[in-house]
Structure 1
Amino acid sequence: MAGPDEGHHRPLRETLSQLRLRELLSEVQDRVEQIVEGRDRLDGLVDAMLAVTSGLKLDATLTTIVHTAIELIDARYGALGVRGHGHELVEFIYEGIDADASRHIGKLPQGLGVLGALIDDPRPIRLDNIGDHPASVGFPAHHPPMSTFLGVPIRIRDEVFGNLYLTEKNSGQPFSEDDEVLAQALAAAAGIAIDNARLYEQSQRRQAWIEATRDIATELLSGTEPAAVFQVIAEQARRLTESTIAVVAVPAEEDDEDSARELVVVEAASAEPVDIAAFAPIPVGVGIVGEAYARRAPVRTGDLDLAGAGGPAMVLPLRTTETVAGVVITQRSAGGAPFSADDLSMAAAFTDQAALAWQLATTQRRMHELDVLTDRDRIARDLHDHVIQRLFAAGLALQGAVPRIRPADAQRRVEQCVDDLQDVISEIRTAIFDLHSGSSAGSTRLRQRIDAALTQFASDGVRTSASYSGPLSVIEPAIADHAEAVAREAVSNAVRHGNATEISVSVRVDDNLTIEITDNGTGFNGPITESGLANLRLRAEECGGTLSFEESPSGGIVVVWQVPLP
């Protein structure tokens, strides 16, 4: 039978047991809630990792990292600073501050204060009050107030790409150790995502460089003039390097590639119109550009003065196995992003391939020219050995038959045929000389230009003829221009003012260039335009020559324009 004390203590023990049970249940519930919360946060971390690693565009990936970090850590503000080559941030992606507030704040952070501390020592920083940190320098005007801070570095293998910054938890509490662990885990995933995006963009850029190289090689090998392809090279280099301007400079015309003294800009590509004359000659071996050409080595620089404008630039020699055809210079505007080592490597590979294609195309053109010269020699030999000899024999046969021909009218016609054969032989000999000289392009142009001038005035009532003797290929372009103008004006005067119906032009090349225009017009009895003769005389005097005219046997005028040849 229980005593009175035992009955008194039983309710007390039961009460204590119930209290302990409630405490235990409460503790279990807290543990369960922590487990659930931890599981939810782990699920959130997994989702965040999947989100930041899902894209391949670098800019979009950086923005996703900031947004995902804010949601995962439940922060009000977030940012990602990309480190430059020194102690600075070259890019700053943020979320939580609207555009109006950002405009009032002004310049983006440059990596000073607490942000700079994370750059100097890339280890996580967690602060309950930013202002208490020794490196704190405060906030600029119009900046929203911030107290709590969490910063973690983002690494890509051994390289610190940048830092992830979070401030102000939405709950108003400081950042916890768990928040720091989650932020570090997210930063690790972000590093992988950024690396993948950079590799993808790099592969895309390499593909673009390869396609540009292929296009230029196709242009060159399809027969496009090598010099014309320099414009394509400049355009592609500017586009692929995201430059403001790109120029191509080659040795001056009077310089040999192996002993060039200065480079001149021959092509420029820019979004704005560019005057090539504004670019001064570049001395070889002097300055960044001249040294890159002389050493056959590509270089990049943070600042290059190009026609009065500065900015980051690359100098890329157009080098082949034997020589350097010139240099390509690409430049970004002042304050633009500097060129990276990858930029230099890919651009140099492009210019090397373009230079090799240029060399191959140039060699191909020279071989073609050699084939043409060989054909010309063969044609000239055949003309001399076969055609001229047969024409000469025919002329001799006709000339021998002249005394036996009756009546006199037929005799005169045969004599005219003999004279015509002699003129044909003379023209063929001139053509043979031009073929042997290997530079018939200029002479052919002069011959065609004079023939074209005569054709303009030929009609049913006007007969024109032209004969050529001597090597027209030795005539310089400037003198050829004068010669065409003289023939055109003299024929025009004969037709319009002398009423001529027959005009012959004789072009003879020896020590002098002599152009003789004979017509059957009214001669000195008709009107003579002093302005026309003055123009002919002035052209002769400019070339150190003379102009003379006399009456022709047919009653017209013979104009003789003669200038010495160098």
Structure 2
Amino acid sequence: MVTGRLKSMSAARVALQPCVPAFHRLPGGRPRADLVGGGVYGVGVTAQGDSTDGRAGVGDTDAALHAVSAAVLAVTRHLSVREVLQVIVRSARRLLNARYGALGVPDDDGSFAEFVAEGISERQWQAIGPLPRQHGMLGAMLREGTAIRLPDIEEDARFDGWPPAHPVLKDFLGVPIRDGDQVLGIVFLADKRDKGGFTEADEKLLTLFAAHAAIALTNARLYERSRELTLVEERKRMARELHDAVTQKLFSLRLTAQSAGELLRVDPERAAVELDRVQRLAGEALTELRTVIVELRPAELARHGLVETLRKHVNLLDVLHPACVVFDSGPIGAVEPEVEMAVLRVAQEALHNALRHSDATTVEVGLVSEGGRLTLRVRDDGRGFDLEAAASCGLGLASMSDRAAAVGGRVRVESERGKGTSVRMEVEFR
């Protein structure tokens, strides 16, 4: 965190000094001291000629670049657009020691497609109401595409008032996030904690950070787009499977039912055989259709994250099947997309096995994160099976192990006849 005021980029001298870490939770629940300085020391900026703790002083430009570099690295560790936006705001706010920060991504309808804020509570945010429109100072920044720095935002002619419950801001610094001529969004800070408000040096620092943040935001958008294309291909594949598997069974079902109807009057015994076949084909078609419906769901993974996607998946299965399917999870934090996909696929395979083969009355799904390790557990109270014969049972155990191994994880299966089955996947994440 920049702990001192940058009065001028040429006059200030910089020292590395111990600073109070801002603790937040890593994925897995463990705290981490998130220091913009990138290590044990934060960046302390002073106006004196010597360092504040006897260490060798370094140029203020180096310190500023060091702080920006640490903030940029914090942003580029994330691939989700929403996460990138949140980390940009958080990093910018810490970088310039501001009380409030926000970032808006404009849409084509005069509002904002995304808007994230730091420094206000969830209750305040809900009380403020709908996302802001592109008017007032925010609209001016989008139209003009230039930085705006003000000692008191309410005294500017472009100011258009505060919505109800909005905190009253004073000093203001806003910078566009640009990709060439396109404004991707605007990041702005308010109420600098240091006396005197934002300086010209602060504006330059935030502009430099915004230029790098634009790269991270563009990269995240491209990544999500590539995932969307992958999901489109997956949906096409599932559509082909739907046509190849379910449609054929339904066609056979129709012909068999017609045959049974014709035989019912002339040969009741053969008609009964055909009706038994109708029942079997209907059951197979229903199973195939359920599988297709379930496997079309991962499109929500990029939008809602692993916990919510898995919760919806379990709720769907609970409706579709007679067994009681329940889900339990706490917050897991940010997980790499490839790990999310692997965990989801293993969960789907384990659930499919439990619901199709175990005759279980209850299937429990749990997801926990602890110490940088994500653990998935799918447990049923079904009939169990012989693990030694599992390779020939078509239960997909090899597939689950392969998916876990691809992301550095492992799967352990425990089962005993008459005592149910437990599938446990463990994987470490950053």
Q: TM-score, normalised by structure 2?
A: 0.46
The structure with more radius of gyration? 1
Higher helix share: 1
